[in-house]
Amino acid sequence: MSAIFGKCNTDNQPVSNEEMGQMLTAMNQWPADDKHTWTGGNAGLGHLMLYNTPESLAERLPLCDSLAQLTITADARIDNRDELYALLSINTPAGKLAPDSSIILLAYKKYGADCVKYLIGDFAFAIWDEREQQLFCARDQMGVKPFFYYHNDKFFAFASEKKGLLCLPGVDKAINKQYFYNHLFVSPLQAPDTTIYLHIHRLPPAHTLTYHAPRKKTQLNHYWTLDPYTELKLQRKEDYYDGLRHHFEEAVKCRIRSNYPVGVEMSGGLDSSAITGVATHFLKPEGRQAVTFSAIGDGTTPTVINGKKVEDERYMKEVIQFNEIEQAVFINKELWANPLDEVDFILKVNDGLEAYTQAYLLIIKNEAMQRNVRTLLSGFPGDEMVTYRGLYYFLDYLDNKQYLKYFLSGKEAPFKKIKPFFGPRAEFFFHKIRNILSMYNADIKMASGFFPVPLIYRYNKGDMAWKDITYRERYKSYRHWQQYRLQKTMVAMRMENETRFGLYFKTEPRFPMADIRLTQFYLSMPNEMKYEGDMQRSAWRTAIGKYLPDAVLNRATKFGQLAPFRNNPETVQTRHIVLLGMLHTLTNNPQYKNDRIIKLFEQKRKITTYIELLRWAENNFDNYGK
């Protein structure tokens, strides 16, 4: 795991070591295990290393192939190494120990820009091609690894964090006001290529970017998406279960490649429990064990929220005993005593406002760092595809023209059953109508009294979803709906966010449930296997049953609230007192003229989000209502 950065000047102006040092200093706040920069003519690349895989211990980046005149910097873990050995004719034992960045460079030498079509894993990289005078950049299919970029008439620059760009002279730091106000309305809903800064862009998942320096041109290419049209035809039902289990095992196996202890974020649900079982299965022959982390209690005293006993701890202990886990870490306290310190840390790492931050996961990452655990396996986003029956399964009936079955199935409101008949254009029209009507909503009016939100930003809220073709086509079939659930922007935002925060705790989150081989196999299974049986997730339970204790395998419900100690009445009241005090302080500023907003914030229990927005706006966004 790493952070990367680079700069390419136009008009043959050389990139200096001082410029690279400036970017390195801005980004090296973890601090890194190793760090290097490279300059060559009008290009410069940099790298900040977090050692994790065995191959990374001997890896030094940026890596230059002087004969081919190619230089690469990469934050990458390539999971189909064995397949690439054959494709790239890597036959020697020494070659098979090559770092992932070397394999990417070999793939680029053979396939050029098409190299990404052969890579499976989590990656963000940039290759400077001296002969072509161009920078080739790429981001993995699911958007786990972050990649931001900026360009103007004088230079193109990129970095894993926006701070690597904000430190450069000449960067236009104008605010993306639609992004800002989206954060006020529904913070996770942002366009996949945008940031809080109007001219700093995010490279979307499954995209490449080529910057040609002499022409000062950037070219984006979308190179991959899930296939919602293909259905597997296997001989026996058991073959589907075997295939699903095989792909899941491989998804976990390739993600435990680490020279350090491997951890699992365990919640007691099907996904994290199965990951724990498979990780244990593959680690034990190596004389290793997984370390489990659970932000739920102390493992002995039941947690009670609003008078209800949380059963998740009992299931966690079943998984721990079943897998003979020796290191099971239970967490029942906050990382920051003052909630404002948490907000300030989030703003620091995010370089301002970001669409998605799971604050409770920072507690787990901190505990992992204390134990030198540099890999954290997560069950996210299992619910979005592989292990979730989900809404709209009845679209399968519509696709097969079983209209009576379609309208009689499920418990959804009738309007949801009618929506697929509208088509994207009509649905977008109704979306705009809803935006107009929402301007008269009491919450929006109250928020607008506090934030002077111009009409155009209220009218355009939610439009960012329509940039995504998977959103527009989500009602075409049940498979299209499943594709949309996994590839929606919020999923990538969360994984990217966890990766960026992981650096500050020297941990790398890895997501077996986002493995594109596993997800494509599940998507291509016959639809009826995904919603048959009395219990939800029946295919998944059958496929991975041997890795779960009976109590978890037959579990029908889940409490569904990790880190409940953050949400018990006493903690909430304490946090509200501090944050509401901050709001009262801010309302003494004449521009925050509507004191009624405090009541709204308290009712919505989104105080942390709004304090984050306000603390950032106070210092960065003068006259933001204009």
Lowest mean pLDDT, pick from 163-172, 350-359, 479-488: 350-359
Q: Which CATH superfamily is domain 249-342+355-388+506-565 in?
A: HUPs (3.40.50.620)
- Answer whether 607's CB lies under 8 Å from 576's CB: yes
Q: What is the pLDDT of residue 626?
A: 37
Q: What is the pLDDT of residue 324?
A: 95
Lowest mean pLDDT, pick from 57-71, 169-183, 201-215, 562-576: 562-576
Write down the domain spans for the chain.
2-222, 249-342+355-388+506-565, 395-485, 569-620
Cβ count near 511 (within 10 Å)? 24
Q: What is the pLDDT of residue 624?
A: 42
> What is the pLDDT averaged over residues 538-564?
84
Q: What is the pLDDT of residue 19?
A: 95
- pTM, rounded to two decimals: 0.93
Query: How confident is residue 566, by pLDDT bands cut at 50, 70 and 90?
Result: confident
Q: What is the pLDDT of residue 520?
A: 98
| Nearest by Cα to 161 from 500, 558, 542, 406 | 500
Q: What is the pLDDT of residue 569?
A: 65
> What is the pLDDT averaged over residues 508-524?
98
E-state strands within 469-603? 508-510
- Answer whether 240's CB lies under 8 Å from 234's CB: yes
The answer on pLDDT for 140 being more than 80 is yes
> What is the pLDDT averaged over residues 124-145?
97
Please write the tens of the pLDDT for every residue from 318-346. 999 999 999 999 998 889 888 888 989 99
3-state helix/strand/coil string of 393-409: CCHHHHHCCCHHHHHHC
| Nearest by Cα to 490 from 508, 465, 472 | 465
Please write the tens of the pLDDT for every residue from 444-483. 655 555 566 788 988 998 999 888 899 999 999 999 999 9
User: Which residues is 123 bridged to in the sheet?
Assistant: 76
The answer on pLDDT for 609 being more than 60 is yes
As given in the structure block, the two tokens for residue 559 are: 């409490």
CATH code linked to domain 2-222: 3.60.20.10
User: Position of tokens 């239970």?
Assistant: 330
Q: Which residue has the higher pLDDT, 440 or 443?
A: 440
> What is the pLDDT averaged over residues 506-533?
95
Read off φ and ψ for residue 510, nearest 5 degrees: -130, 140
Q: What is the pLDDT of residue 587?
A: 55
| Nearest by Cα to 277 from 40, 512, 584, 613 | 512
SS3 565: helix
Please write the tens of the pLDDT for every residue from 255-272. 999 999 999 999 888 999
Query: How confident is residue 584, by pLDDT bands cut at 50, 70 and 90?
Result: low
Q: How far are the Cα atoms of 196, 224, 444, 459, 477 from residue 454, in angstroms, in the given order?
A: 17, 38, 12, 9, 38
**Per-residue DSSP letter, 229:** S
Query: How confident is residue 623, by pLDDT bands cut at 50, 70 and 90?
Result: very low
Cβ count near 363 (within 10 Å)? 22
Q: Give the CA radius of gyration of the chain.
A: 25
> What is the pLDDT averaged over residues 490-510?
96
Please write the tens of the pLDDT for every residue from 144-172. 999 999 999 999 999 999 999 999 999 99
Q: What is the pLDDT of residue 357?
A: 84
**DSSP codes of every residue in 496-513:** HHHHHHHHHTT-EEE-GG
Greatest C-alpha distance within the chain: 72
The answer on pLDDT for 614 being more than 80 is no
Torsion-angle region of 17 (φ positive above 0: left; ψ -120 to 50: alpha; else: beta): alpha
Please write the tens of the pLDDT for every residue from 64-96. 999 999 999 999 999 999 999 999 998 877 777
Distance (Å, whole) CA 43 – CA 563:
46
Give the mean pLDDT of the chain: 88
CA atoms within 13 A of residue 53's CA, in its CB half-sphere: 20
